[in-house]
Structure 1
Amino acid sequence: MGAIRRLGVCKRPDRPADRPGGGVHRRIRPCGGGGVRPLLEVDRLSKSYGDLPVLRDVAFHVDEGESLAILGPSGCGKSTLLRILLGLEGYDAGEVRGPVDRAGYLPQDALLFPWKTVVQNAELPLQIRGVDRKRRREEVASRLPSFGLAGFEDAYPHELSGGMRQRAGLLRAVVSGAAVLVLDEPFGALDTLTRHRLQDWLSGLMSELHRTMLFVTHDLEEAVVLADRVLVLSGRPAGVIGERGISLSREERSDRLSPLFYREKDGLLSMIRKGDER
């Protein structure tokens, strides 16, 4: 298995100024060029399970402060790629450089401990690090309102809706203090209306947190709403078809019926179709 090495962390650029006349922030992708080293680099990564190839020569980078979507069809190897990046699984060839093995992780199912309350689940990373009870409770309590969980501190997972469980899982990942958040199709099991609400909520949350986010999805709209840049993968064995930057404001991202939104969505769909024709 290739070694995972920690890279130096590059300085985050200043946040973009308000757009003239609109008072709206556009999310601008931090520059990975000009001598600035990416936070994460993946170079010609390949993986097979016996005679079944899953990943083939996958290469990409993630800049500090960027939200990168990995978009591909179901079963193409996206989750396998994330497990490799998190250090949970080996690979056959290539190299991974960066600190994602220390990321805050939200799987498809939030994996909350059923015998623990919302607060007890969320504070777990701090408890493992030896933070005293008072400090970790204060940290969690300060974030509950922005996660829509105020008033549910003592609720158990079975008492929460699916969307609330996912928010609780993401709260745990954020409380960990990790510089990188890794999400594996976090809203895929939710109904359409709940999924749209949570996508819009997460878009706003990431603008406040200023964290790096890497997430996988097979949902074109989710990629447009949440990503600064989208990496498009082919079917298995997954390889990189191409990438597309998403230059929409938060308000434009939430208007899923607008021409601007459709332009980005159609651009991704066109890229996928061209990849299928190869």
Structure 2
Amino acid sequence: MVASAPTAAAPAVATRPELPMTVLASPAPGTAVGKQVLRFQDVAKTFPDGTVALEGVDLEVRRGDFVTVVGPSGCGKSTLLRIASGLSPASSGVSEVAAERIGYVFQDATLLPWRSVTKNVQLLAELHGMPKAEIETATRDAIELVGLAGHERKLPRALSGGMRMRASLARSLTLDPDLFLFDEPFGALDEITRERLNDELLRLFEAKGFGALFITHSVSEAVYLSTRVLVMSGRPGRIVDSFDVPFGRDRTPDIRFTPEFGALAGKVSHALREGHS
């Protein structure tokens, strides 16, 4: 689907662990890895008060791509995701959203406090009108995939921050998205939990083969997770540099201590400083 601003892109699916996640099999035969799920061409966004948030943004995400965007605060990273999801229209340019299903993981877990883990996870499937039997199966599978089996009846207040983020991710997984949008989902977590969730997100990504557009302020997180890192300038936000990440999908936490990782992180950090100056 192609949307020429101000027409919005396809409606998004709004959505968001210290336990081992299930190790998943490779994507099923016939999975359209490599299919384009998102493309921006010369996209700009100006708010009603005249603030220019984005200008001339070009990007592409395919299934099997994990694209991370880094940039200074206020440069329009979250606005980029809102346009991609269809929650906000671009002011000009073309946005093409070919994903049939979009998962959106917010900065906060956004769980309903009165609903159990199971009830929170099945919420999106309910809103999309899935048959009850399919909802139950998808919910059970998603909870197992994110390592929350045994915690189905707990309320959000009984969960750690990492477990709440797992539940939020599971909620989107019930819809089996082609494209995942992540708006700094691990930013509020401690470093140990954050790195653990990075590893587990990589397992899901490799197994499912979805396309991902991930926002973070952490250069290390960006390099560790991604197949490609995009650097944004200060407002108005523009893509000022792009770095392909050469590490294989079997990367482990120890790669963070290698000279190659440090060199790439240094290049991204330098581009970030240059783009902000």
Q: Sort the TM-score into its range (normalised by shorter chain).
A: 0.7 to 0.9
Q: Is the 8 A contact 1:217 1:223 kept in 2?
A: yes
Aligned residue identity for 1:59: D
Corresponding residue of 1:236: 235
Opposite residue 242 of structure 1, the aligned amino acid is: D
User: For residue 262 of structure 1, what is the aligned residue in structure 2?
Assistant: 262
Q: Which has the higher contact order (CA 8 A, sep 6+)?
A: 2
CA distance in structure 2 between the partners assigned to 1:181 and 1:37 by the alignment: 14
Residue 86 of structure 1 contacts residue 101 of structure 1 at CA under 8 Å; is this kept in 2? no
CA deviation vs aligned residue, 1:161-201 (integer Å, no higher than 9, x gap):
11111111011111112211111000011111111111111
Q: CA deviation at 1:271?
A: 1.9
Q: For residue 152 of structure 1, what is the aligned residue in structure 2?
A: 151
Conservation of the 8 A alpha-carbon contact between 1:122 and 1:172 = yes
Q: Aligned partners of 1:155, 1:61: CA distance in 2, in Å?
A: 39
Shift of 1:48: 2.1
**CA distance 1:111–1:101, shift in 2 (3 Å):** farther
Instruction: Please tell me whether the aligned partners of residues 104 and 182 of structure 1 are also in contact (alpha carbons under 8 angstroms).
Output: yes
Aligned equivalent of 2:274 = 274
SS at match of 1:69: strand
> 1:42 aligns to what?
40
1:71-110 alignment, distance < 5 Å: 71-99=70-98, 102-110=101-109
Q: Amino acid of the residue matched to residue 166 of structure 2?
A: R
Preserved contact between residue 252 and residue 261 of structure 1 (Cα < 8 Å): no
Unaligned runs of 5+ in 1: 7-24, 26-31
Q: State the distance in 2 between where 1:58 and 1:199 align.
A: 27
Cα drift, residue 273 of structure 1: 3.0
How does the TM-score come out when normalised to structure 2? 0.83
1:269 is aligned with what amino acid? Answer: S
Cα separation, 1, equivalents of 2:149 and 2:132: 19
Deviation of residue 81 (structure 1)?
1.2
Instruction: Give the 3-state SS of the residue equivalent to 2:171 in structure 1.
Output: helix
Residues 226, 245 of structure 2: 8 Å contact kept = yes
Tell me if the contact between 2:41 and 2:93 (Cα under 8 Å) persists in the aligned partners.
yes
C-alpha distance in 2, partners of 1:253/1:67? Answer: 16
More divergent stretch after superposition (129-138 vs 189-198): 129-138
1:111 is matched with 110
* Structure 2: gaps spanning 5 or more residues: 11-25, 27-32
Q: Whole-Å Cα distance in 2 between the matches of residues 263 and 250 of structure 1?
A: 19
Alignment of structure 1 residues 56-71 onto 2, 5 Å? 56-71=55-70
Q: Which one-letter code corresponds to 1:3 in the other structure?
A: T
For 1:129, the aligned partner's letter is H
User: d(CA) in 2 for partners of 1:134 and 1:45?
Assistant: 41
Q: What amino acid maps onto 1:39 in structure 2?
A: V
> Is the partner of 2:247 in helix, strand or coil?
coil
8 Å contact from structure 1 (residues 87, 101) kept in 2: no
Q: Deviations over 1:132-162 (max 9, x none)?
A: 3333222222232331201100111111111
- Relative to 1, partners in 2 of residues 1:130 and 1:273: Cα closer, same or farther, differing over 3 Å? closer
The residue type equivalent to 1:264 in the other structure is: L
1:72-94 CA distance string (max 9 Å, x none): 12221101111111111122211
Contact 2:142 2:171 in 1 (8 A): no
Alpha-carbon distance in 2 for matches of 1:223, 1:241: 16
Whole-angstrom distance in 1 between the partners of 2:99 and 2:177: 9
Aligned-CA RMSD value:
2.2
Give the CA deviation at 1:101.
8.5
Distance 1:131 1:53, change over 3 A: closer
**TM-score under structure 1 length normalisation:** 0.83
Structure 2 distance, partners of 1:101, 1:220, is: 30
- Match of residue 141 from structure 1: 140
Report the Cα distance in structure 2 between the residues aligned to 1:194 and 1:5, rounded to whole angstroms.
34
Which aligned segments of 4 or more residues in structure 1 are displaced greater than 4 angstroms?
Answer: none
Instruction: Give the 3 Å change call, closer, same or farther, for CA 77–100 of structure 1 in structure 2.
Output: farther
Distance 1:129 1:164 in 2: 24
Q: Is the 8 A contact 1:203 1:225 kept in 2?
A: no
Stretch of structure 1 that moved more, 183-192 or 85-94: 85-94
